[in-house]
Amino acid sequence: MTGYDSGDEEPPIPQTVQNWWLNEKLGSGYSGSIYRATNIYTKQIVALKLQWVEHACPTNRYERCLYPLIQGGKGIPKLWAAGVQGSWDFLAIDLLGQSLDNIYRKNGKEVMNLGSVCCIAMQVIQRLEFMHTRGVLHRDIQLGNCVLGLPPHDKVIYMIDFGFSKRYIDPYTNRHIPNSNAKRDFIGNYWFSSVNVHCRGKVPSRRDDLEAVALMLIHLMTPRGLSWTRNGVPKSSQAHDLLIREKRNALPEDLCKGLPTVFEEFLRYTRRLKFDQCPNYQEWIDKFKKLAVDEGYSSSDNFIWPPPSPTVGHKTANTPRRLLSPPVKKDDMVGILGGIAKLDLGGRPVLVNNARINKTTVQETQEAKSSKLDVRDGVETSDANALPGLPPRLALQKGQQLERLSKSVGPATTNKELSKYVSDFIQVMQSNSGRTLTRPAFQFLDVLYTQLDKSSLVIRPTTMSKTKSFNEPVPEKEKQASHVKLGVVARLRREVHSARSSKELATMVADFARVTNRSTGRTVSKDGFAFLEGIAERLKVLK
C-alpha cells in the first residue's frame, strides 16, 4: 500500500478478515487494496476492500457510511459486510469484472466506438441520477471507477469507490448543502473533475458529477484522450498548475471538435447548471440513446465489449471527423460524377425557363418528386436500396434520404425545384441529432453546386465527370472566399440574400461546404441552416 504517513509500519496483510479468506489481489488504489475473498462458511465470493486503520486518508471509513445510503440501485455493488478487525478496515462488496479503464488501456487507448460511448453515457448518467436521488454525490467519476459486472450482469456498468462521496442533502434539515466562496482544497481526480471544483476550488454539487461524465465521454472519443491527460499524473505543483490552466482554458467547442454535437451540448449544459439545480438526467439519457440509434447502434444501454461487429468500419454522420477518411474520396467522387454522367439527359438545358423543358424531363421530375415523398415521410418502403456493408436500416435512413435527394437534385430543371430540394435537405439534416455534413450530405451539396454553377450551360453527359466539384481544386479567381475561417458561415448567411446569380450561389455553397468541413468539424451551425434556408429563398426569386 502507498500513501500512509503514520510513524508506524503497516502490518502484513492477514490471511483472513472476519469470515473472509483472502485470495488474489484484484487491484489497489491510493489508500488500500482489493482482494477476491471467500466466506469460509458460506463459500460466497466477494471483493474485499482492505485498508489499514492508520492510513492517512481513511476512505474505507467514509465508504462504510456511504454504501448503506445507496444500496438497491442498479449498478451499485451490494455491501455484504463492513467493519474493523484488528488493524484492518474492510468492506465486502459484490465481486465485479474489469473496469472501463482496463478496457480502454487494453484497447491501446484507442478512441472508443460511438455506440459503446453512448451506452456508457446512458448508464453512468442513470447511476448518478440514482445516487443523487439518495442525496449522495460521487465526486470521483473516472474510468477506473466504472466497472462491469460479472455474468449475468456483465453488460451493466457499476459505480465503485465512494471514498470521496459526500451527502449534498443535509440529513437533519433535508436541504441542499450551502455554496461558499471560500476556496476549497481539491478532492477528486485530475482528469475529469469539473473546472469549478478542480480549477476554481468551488463546492461540488450534482452538476460537477455530470460535468465529469461529460469530460470522461469526450476523453473516450478523442484520439490520445483529453490533452491534459497525456503527460500522466502531474508530479509537481507546477505541473499541476499547468494542467489546471489547460483544463480551465479548454473551450467546449475545441474539446468537441469533430464530435457529434450532443457531446458539446452536454458539456455546456453541465456547466450552465446552477449550484443546487437538479439536472435533467432523463433528457441526456434520451439524447445519447437517440444519437446511438441515429448512428445505427442499438437503443439498449447494454455495454457489450468487444462491441458487436456490424458497426466496425461504419462511419456515419456522428463519427468523429478525425476517424473518417476524407469527406468524399476521389474515387467515390469520380463514381458519383460518373453516375450523374450516365443519366440520359439528352443534352437538355437545365435551369432554364419552363418553356424549354421537354416531356421526358417532366416525367423525370415527377419520379424525382415521388421519391422525395418517401424522404418527407422518412419511411423506407424497401431495403432494396440498402447499400452493401452498411449497418441496420435505422442508420441508413438519413444517408438514404440524402442520397435520394442527391439523385433528385441532379435532374432538376428549374430554380424553384432546386429551392424545394434545398428545403428538403434542410429538413432531413435537422431531423437528426447529429447535424453533421456526412458523405451523402456532401454529395447533395456537390450536385447542387454543379447545378448552380452550370446554370446557364447545357449539360453534356460526356463532360460531366470533368465537372468542377468543390472537393477539387478551385480556380484562383474563385478562391478569395475559400480562405474561409470562423465567421464565414455568418457572412454567407447575410450575403445569400443579395446573391444575383446561380453562379454566385454556387460559390457560396462551395464555401459553405469547405468551411463546414474544415473549421467546424462538419457540424452545421444555426448560421449554416439559416444560410441554406437563404439559398432556398433566393432560388425562388432568381431567374
Say what the alpha-carbon torsion angle 139, 144, 149, 150 is, to the nearest 10 degrees: -150
Cβ 522 vs Cβ 258: under 8 Å: yes
Q: Is 59 in the site for ligand ATP (CB under 6 A)?
A: yes
- 217's CB contacts (< 8 A; 6+ apart) are 117, 120, 121, 263, 266
Q: Which is nearer to ligand ATP, 164 or 266 (CB)?
A: 164
Q: Which is nearer to ligand ATP, 77 or 296 (CB)?
A: 77
Which neighbouring-strand residues pair with 85? 88
Cα–Cα dist 52/87, whole Å: 6
Which helix (H) or strand (E) covers residue 416, if one does? helix 415-430
Q: Which is nearer to ligand ATP, 92 or 405 (CB)?
A: 92
DSSP 299: S
Cα–Cα dist 399/415, whole Å: 24
Q: Please identify which residue in 20, 32, 288, 511 interacts with ligand ATP, judged by CB under 6 A.
A: 32
CB of 146 to ligand ATP, least distance (A): 9
Residue with the three cell numbers 446573391: 499
Among 526, 374, 536, residue whose Cα is nearest residue 435: 526
Could you tell me the three cell numbers for 83? 467493519
Mask of contacts with ligand ATP, 37-56, x by CB under 6 A?
Answer: ----------x-x-------
Catalytic annotation present for 140: yes
Q: Is 95 in the site for ligand ATP (CB under 6 A)?
A: yes
Cα–Cα dist 462/466, whole Å: 8
Q: Which is nearer to ligand ATP, 77 or 528 (CB)?
A: 77
Q: Please identify which residue in 38, 99, 194, 520 interacts with ligand ATP, judged by CB under 6 A.
A: 99
Q: Which of the residues 5, 8, 89, 140 is marked catalytic?
A: 140
CB of 98 to ligand ATP, least distance (A): 7
CB of 158 to ligand ATP, least distance (A): 7
CB of 131 to ligand ATP, least distance (A): 15
End-to-end CA distance of the chain: 79
CB of 58 to ligand ATP, least distance (A): 11
- 117's CB contacts (< 8 A; 6+ apart) are 217, 220, 221
C-alpha separations of 246 from 217, 271, 322, 411, 453 in Å: 18, 17, 22, 52, 45
Q: Is 452 in the site for ligand ATP (CB under 6 A)?
A: no
- Collapsing DSSP to helix, strand or coil, 148 comes out as strand
Q: Please identify which residue in 37, 50, 92, 93 interacts with ligand ATP, judged by CB under 6 A.
A: 93
Cβ 146 vs Cβ 162: under 8 Å: no
Q: Which is nearer to ligand ATP, 77 or 204 (CB)?
A: 77
Enumerate residues 151-210 that contact ligand ATP by CB under 6 A.
160-161, 163
The residue at minimum Cβ distance from ligand ATP is: 29
Q: Is 183 annotated as a binding residue?
A: no
Q: Which is nearer to ligand ATP, 192 or 470 (CB)?
A: 192
Largest CA distance in the chain: 98
Q: Which stretch binds ligand ATP (CB under 6 A): 21-29, 192-200, 246-254, 285-293?
A: 21-29
Mask of contacts with ligand ATP, 121-150, x by CB under 6 A?
Answer: -----------------------xx-x---
Q: Please identify which residue in 13, 21, 27, 390 interacts with ligand ATP, judged by CB under 6 A.
A: 27
> At how many degrees (to 10) do helices 488-495 and 526-541 cross?
20
Q: Tell me the pairing of strands 20-28 and 16-17.
A: antiparallel
Number of chain residues interacting with ligand ATP (CB under 6 A): 22
- Residue ranges of the binding site: 49
Residue numbers in the known binding site for ATP are 49
Q: Which residues are part of the catalytic machinery?
A: 140
Interacting residue ranges for ligand ATP, rule: CB under 6 A: 26-27, 29-32, 34, 47, 49, 59, 77, 93-96, 99, 144-145, 147, 160-161, 163
